[in-house]
Amino acid sequence: MFNLKYFYLLVFSTFLLGVFSCSQKPKNQVPVFDLSDIILDTFYLEKDTITKDLGYNFHYVINDEGEFLVTSAQDRFMIYSYPEGKMIRDQIYDKEGPNGIGSFLQVNFTDDSTSWFVSFQELIRADQFGKVLMRFDLPDGPEERLAINYNNLVGTKAMNTKGKVIIPDVPFVLKKPLLGYENWLLEFDLADSSINYIKFKYPSKYVDFLDDPNFAAYQNGYDEEHNFHLISFPADDSLLVISPQSKKWVYAGVSDKMEFLVGKTVPRGEFTAFLPNEKSSKYSWVDYDPRSQTYIRQAIVITDTEENRSQGRNPLTKLVILDSDFKKSMEVILPFPTRGFPTPKGYYLNIGYPHSEDEVAFVRLDFSKILFP
């Protein structure tokens, strides 16, 4: 005899099984590649014995004389042939005198014809042959900022875009009053020396990450084609995208679990030592590759420490790749944390010294697996 109660029980059980099965189905997963899977070719730059590191802050220049890569490091300007990678000129700037740029430079970068420096509160415009052209005073900042720190030594990017010089101000550690502050990216207009700001605030959850250098420094990138400023916070899976019309958050996290571990402070006489947790995960730089129209973000998932290795936790660093619509398209496993620069020929990533310390290798990345799967 048909039992209606058992029929309803069977239907309900089937429904629960279906719900459970659906909840167990993996979400849409993006492909994960090793770096070697997307290397198109390798480019080498000469390095002399007195140069510790060439870094990654290169600017591509093309003119009647050819193609070049230019960069600056503290008081030096260097120009390389492209794609040969031969050093053409190494210009040293004076520290003092009428063409002096100072002995400690918090900010330095180059564009097609100019070298830019920030020494304390002074923006210096120089040619690429050692001569200072102009000097501009930068603001000290309001009292609630505590202490302005114009800086790209921590990986933030300064740039000249369309006659406006963008200079990041980066806190060494976050203090609670700074959670309401928003003038983090200064915009200096070269036409009239006026000052504006690309404004944003640290998310309110950073009240849990105060007094820790790991979580103080945001990273910034720029998509000049669409006038998007990109802000990467160290403990956020999402990027903040700022345009003249709006601000929006886009997901740019990794599939792995990130552990954001707060450090500690230790009194040392009249001073306080800020000791970040070396095991903490963090998101770092963000960049835009105009050739492939992709956004690139680095995530340090597991740091390379003796403690992590002794616990069987191997170092893990990844790139998160977003397409032109900010949709996550792939993850790329890196052999170690590194960084690169865009050119019209593609995005180049610094991989160090595979042959000798006389030359630095950069690999050009091929994102066609995203664009033409």
pLDDT of residue 316: 98
Residue 3 pLDDT exceeds 60: no
Evaluate the omega torsion of the peptide bond into residue 234 and state whether it is cis, within 30 degrees of 0: no
**Long-range contacts of 57-61, Cβ-Cβ distance < 8 Å, separation of 24 or more:** 57/109, 57/152, 57/157, 57/341, 58/341, 58/343, 58/348, 59/109, 59/110, 59/111, 59/112, 59/341, 60/341, 60/342, 60/343, 60/344, 60/345, 61/112
What pLDDT, in 10s, does the model give residues 302-340?
999 988 898 889 999 999 999 999 999 999 999 999 999
What pLDDT, in 10s, does the model give residues 249-277?
999 999 999 999 999 999 888 888 999 99
pLDDT of residue 11: 41
Residue 19 pLDDT exceeds 60: no
Q: Identify the band that residue 106 occupies on the pLDDT scale cut at 50, 70 and 90.
A: very high
Lowest mean pLDDT segment, chosen from 10-24, 153-167, 199-213: 10-24
Q: What is the mean pLDDT of the chain?
A: 90
CATH of domain 57-201: 2.40.128
Task: Name the pTM for this structure.
Answer: 0.90
pLDDT of residue 188: 97
Residue 207 pLDDT exceeds 90: yes
Most confident of 66-75, 230-239, 360-369: 230-239
Domain definitions of the chain by residue range: 28-55+219-373, 57-201
Chain centroid to Cα 117, Å, comes to 20
